[in-house]
Amino acid sequence: MNTAQQIISALHENGVAEVPGFGTFAVVTRHAEIDPANGRMLPPGREISFQQDFSGSAGVDVQHWQDQLLSTGHLRVEGLGVFNNDDGKIEFISEIQNLKAEEFFGLEEINLDTVPQDIKEMETAAEGKNYKFSRTLLWVILIAIPLAALAYLGIARPESLFGKKSFNQVPVQPVPVQPAVDSAKIAREKAAAFTADSLRTDSLRKDSLLKAEPAKKWPSKNNRKKTWQR
């Protein structure tokens, strides 16, 4: 693993990478800012900062970076970024990919040149929505008013809607209530009447037998023979 890869790995794991004889790389939070040169507003995010420090012993690769940067004022390390020397002040432009430093918290850059047009379009869309809402509300009111009037007339003055009744209401006759029948009492009364009738019939039969005349007796055959012999 070369020096550039070691720096990137340390930034991934710890958020900071110190390189002796060259400087320190760190992941820092960047606030939202406006780039007037390009007409853009950058959202908050994270970026890689570099603080130069050429003191200390440097390795072979790092010593080569330092020498080139001091002699030419420009250094590009593949996978890491570009360094520019501006009168002893080192500027670093990161090229690190797939690092948390590239996150923008879901926000996007805003092109300031298109902001007025975007605002105008938003206002137009809002006016269209308000117009549609106003028309819908108007239709609801126009339909609700006659429905409410019909409901009031149907409850308070139904004859105005349905007319007067063409026939007189027939009075309801009460239904006569049949008295409750005591079947046991009726059975007892029938049994008592049947017993009285039976006793009366037996009494009449006995009286008729007592009043009947005795049967007439006829002479026997022997007496008739004796009469003829005389």
Question: For the chain, what is the domain count?
Answer: 2
Do 65 and 38 sit in the same domain of this protein? yes
Band of residue 43 on the pLDDT scale cut at 50, 70, 90 = confident
Do 60 and 121 sit in the same domain of this protein? no
Is residue 28, in this structure, part of any structural domain at all? Answer: yes
User: Could you give the percent of the chain with pLDDT greater than 90?
Assistant: 11
Identify whether the C-beta of residue 35 lies closer than 8 Å to the C-beta of residue 41: yes
What is the pLDDT, as a whole number, of residue 181?
57
pLDDT at position 109 over 50 = yes
Residue numbers of the domain that contains 88:
3-108
Do 50 and 75 sit in the same domain of this protein? yes
Is residue 102, in this structure, part of any structural domain at all? Answer: yes
Sign of CA dihedral 124, 127, 131, 136: positive
Do 53 and 82 sit in the same domain of this protein? yes
Do 95 and 119 sit in the same domain of this protein? no
Give the residue, 38 or 163, on which the prediction is more confident: 38
Is residue 227, in this structure, part of any structural domain at all? Answer: no
* Structure token pair of residue 207: 């009286």
pLDDT at position 163 over 70 = no
Do 48 and 125 sit in the same domain of this protein? no
pLDDT at position 40 over 80 = no
User: Could you give the percent of the chain with pLDDT greater than 70?
Assistant: 53
Do 83 and 134 sit in the same domain of this protein? no
Band of residue 101 on the pLDDT scale cut at 50, 70, 90 = very low
Residue 88 CA to residue 70 CA, distance in Å, equals: 8
Distance of CA 92 to the CA centre of its chain: 55
Do 74 and 36 sit in the same domain of this protein? yes
Do 56 and 146 sit in the same domain of this protein? no
Is residue 174, in this structure, part of any structural domain at all? Answer: no
Is residue 46, in this structure, part of any structural domain at all? Answer: yes
Identify whether the C-beta of residue 7 lies closer than 8 Å to the C-beta of residue 33: no
Do 42 and 103 sit in the same domain of this protein? yes
Average pLDDT of 110-124? 63
Is residue 198, in this structure, part of any structural domain at all? Answer: no
Band of residue 84 on the pLDDT scale cut at 50, 70, 90 = very high
pLDDT at position 17 over 50 = yes
Q: How many CB atoms are closer than 10 A to CB 17?
A: 21
Q: Which of 27-31, 91-95, 172-176, 190-194 has the highest mean pLDDT?
A: 91-95
Is residue 51, in this structure, part of any structural domain at all? Answer: yes
Taking only the tens place, the pLDDT of each residue in 178-228 is 555 567 777 777 777 767 666 676 666 666 656 655 555 555 555 555 554
Do 102 and 130 sit in the same domain of this protein? no
Is residue 31, in this structure, part of any structural domain at all? Answer: yes
Mean pLDDT score of the chain: 72
Do 101 and 7 sit in the same domain of this protein? yes
